[in-house]
Structure 1
């Protein structure tokens, strides 16, 4: 009923309606000076202003949201040419802009009418550095950028994230930041990564730092099952053992979950619009994953519900890491022939690539299962010449004359098997002919996506993109050298089962599994 009333109000007041994104003007400030010549606007406003993303009751509406560039303390100001009188209580609530913003901004944002008075609180010449530790410094277009990492238990880190929490629903579709109110034991799992542009003439003062982006991550304890232990051994990720003798009369010391084998999950990830399209996302992402790979307690890196843009960034950077740092990954290739007996309808779909090699590569790179499978598929597709990637060339399947045509047939077989197993519950409700049809229908869009990744990676490689990954790997500790434990003061992948290589299984796959692989063809 309330939604119907809101729609009626909106339709009757069309001349008094403003798209929220057009009304909102965002900038960062140093004192009275704007950090950017042009303001920027949010991508999404429905979390704040409703599904219609419209503000009613005003003409010439302007909502200024200014944030101090270093600690993101906000100031909100509302200006308008005309304001109509609300016709009922619900309309009055819709017109109460401050009330709608208040859930996403600290109370101080509305307590000062004049922007400059807020900024005067911070002495621009006083000593100031971001919270936590400096993780990485890099140069881009003759400008200096720094990435800082801090536990969210640091009060200054918590204050910064609280100040700018409205950026999450503004720039991440469906983004929420409810964890800020979680108990301390939960907050201890979180880290905040801050990307700043730094004016080296004013370094270590507030005026020297302008936020360019930020990300958060949190730690998830994982049960140390045998396959997890095996992965941890490969990646040199093993927690210290706790010595406890049965003769002891007291319990062993309490072990914090933060000191146990864990997944590290990347959560919010935002590059502010003035800095987008300049590779800063790759710098921030690589700073994060290089830190996680060097952490002996992190055995796997996951991502929480990545959107399409982040998927592209993640694929490009993970692929760059694997192809520059893992020679065995670059050497992966598809077979040109497979014995006829292994391709029989009643046989398993054969392993196109050594399962042991894939398992070891994934463990050492700490990449989540589904993400690694996709990267392996993308790489293997890239080893097949583009002219051979056509269904018209594989009518004879494994008997095609051209070895690259055969490899393309084997690649499609491998991908269809993965898709079948991943979607088994739905596909098993269909008859065999329809299952085959569904799998075939899925491949074209997947291949288009993979080819776009291959082309994009080739373009960025020519532009020197690999240097970003190499700059982090050069400073990373060697997996074979001496290791020191560090204390740093997922994803649709998380739910996928970690399956050890077939050669390491203690028992053969059950008959039902055999049937799955048979039907996957």
Structure 2
């Protein structure tokens, strides 16, 4: 070891903070189009750089990872002012390349731009089939089911999948070669005035992956070669620059509507959702159930089980989720002076909580059991009111029903957490 290197390593050991970088801060993400580059930050980098989310041995480290807004072809460039001469340092390029497709362009930005233009000149098209579209705030959006069996579809998935590690806690790559996986991508269409100027490229807004679990359809359908599946949403991402606009709920709702039209899909479920997705899903599903709600059959004291089973199957909802939605609707009716009583709703919810925790509650004395149930109910009620927030559902109020109830003064609204 040279004297210079010895002094450098000695200095590094005395000032490790100078040579230590946060991988969350060092990784700079960009989405680029012909006009601009939009910067956004990762939420997690531990799947790539370890639990501490730090990189040692570099000064002023910046890792630039850029994507084209349409093809999502990536570009990687790594810059730093100084680097320790230590063979044990992490090779940042090699580490990043483990999670990026082989066609990633490294360091040469001009070559990256040229490669994107070449791909587009070769008539690049979205590698899939449009399954739905919608408009929000005057902007058009389209949902495509990507063909993962096609080379271009598989390549697009490889370009997108690193975002799973950066934005989903404990996220991991799927086996895209497994035919039971589906990939759906949400695109923002260009505005009409842009098309007139020759800019006709849509931009990727987000994506979701879903797995088709085989479900035995019964011997008659099985003998005829018919099949049924439970489709499970695994990963769901809206790019940060598009968040806060309600696009996640619109994407989910329209994708859900598409699945409702597919006869072979019998149930729609979600794998380990985080709180943010759970809230969005609850609010979207609430509107679907409320649209089919029958006030006469949604009475907490004696809810119509036949209607429950029929509606749940029509909406392809799992039992647990449908139970939550019923309870949310009943509390919504309490909050807005609907045709239910708070005590009846409380008893209805407690009965489900008791059934769910029966084994643990049966061994307790009556006073303790009641206390546990009340505590669980209060926590759930508070969370339900938080979810309801300012949600508006198409449900009747007492004053709209006519008769004697319409003459009674409206119930005082409950204070809720929003």
Task: Note whether the superposition's TM-score is higher than 0.5.
Answer: yes
Q: Which residues of structure 1 form unaligned runs of 5+?
A: 1-8, 230-238, 244-254, 336-351, 389-402, 462-521
Verify: 1:446 aligned to 2:413, yes or no: no
CA distance in 1, matches of 2:14, 2:295: 58
CA distance in 1, matches of 2:309, 2:145: 30
CA distance in 1, matches of 2:246, 2:297: 28
CA distance in 2, matches of 1:26, 1:438: 47
Shift of 1:66: 0.6
Paired residue secondary structure (2:326):
helix
Paired residue secondary structure (2:331):
helix
Give a deviation string over 1:16-51, Cα, whole Å, max 9, x none.
Answer: 2222121111112236x5453xx0011111111111
Verify: 1:128 aligned to 2:62, yes or no: no
Contact 1:264–1:302 at 8 Å: present in 2 too?
Answer: yes
Shift of 1:240: 5.2
Distance 1:437 1:223, change over 3 A: farther
- 2:180 maps to which of 180, 189, 192: 189
Contact 1:362–1:372 at 8 Å: present in 2 too?
Answer: yes
Distance 1:102 1:330, change over 3 A: farther
Distance 1:194 1:10, change over 3 A: farther
CA distance in 1, matches of 2:337, 2:85: 67
Give a deviation string over 1:306-340, Cα, whole Å, max 9, x none.
Answer: 1101011101111111222x1427962334xxxxx
Write the mapping of 1:344-363 to structure 2, written as runs, cut at 5 A: 352-363=302-313
Greater Cα shift, 73-82 or 12-21: 12-21
Verify: 1:208 aligned to 2:142, yes or no: no
Higher strand share: 2
Shift of 1:360: 1.0
Shift of 1:410: 2.3
Contact 1:75–1:108 at 8 Å: present in 2 too?
Answer: no
Match of 1:42 in 2: 42
Ranked by relative contact order (alpha carbons within 8 Å, sequence separation 6 or more), the top structure is: 1
Match of 1:381 in 2: 331
Write the mapping of 1:362-441 to structure 2, written as runs, cut at 5 A: 362-385=312-335, 407-428=341-362, 430-441=364-375
- 1:150 maps to which of 134, 146, 153: 146
Q: Which residues of structure 2 form unaligned runs of 5+?
A: 1-11, 395-418
Shift of 1:428: 4.4
Contact 2:216–2:227 at 8 Å: present in 1 too?
Answer: no
Shift of 1:274: 0.4
Write the mapping of 1:120-519 to structure 2, written as runs, cut at 5 A: 120-123=114-117, 124=120, 127-180=123-176, 184=177, 187-199=178-190, 200=192, 201-202=194-195, 208-224=201-217, 242=223, 255=225, 259-324=226-291, 326-328=292-294, 332-335=298-301, 352-385=302-335, 407-428=341-362, 430-458=364-392
Contact 1:220–1:265 at 8 Å: present in 2 too?
Answer: yes
Distance 1:57 1:456, change over 3 A: farther
CA distance in 1, matches of 2:25, 2:361: 45
Aligned alpha-carbon RMSD (Å): 2.9
Contact 1:70–1:206 at 8 Å: present in 2 too?
Answer: no
* Number of aligned positions between the proteins: 378
Paired residue secondary structure (1:314):
helix
Verify: 1:55 aligned to 2:55, yes or no: yes
CA distance in 2, matches of 1:436, 1:280: 42
Shift of 1:206: 9.1
Paired residue secondary structure (2:388):
helix
Match of 2:79 in 1: 79
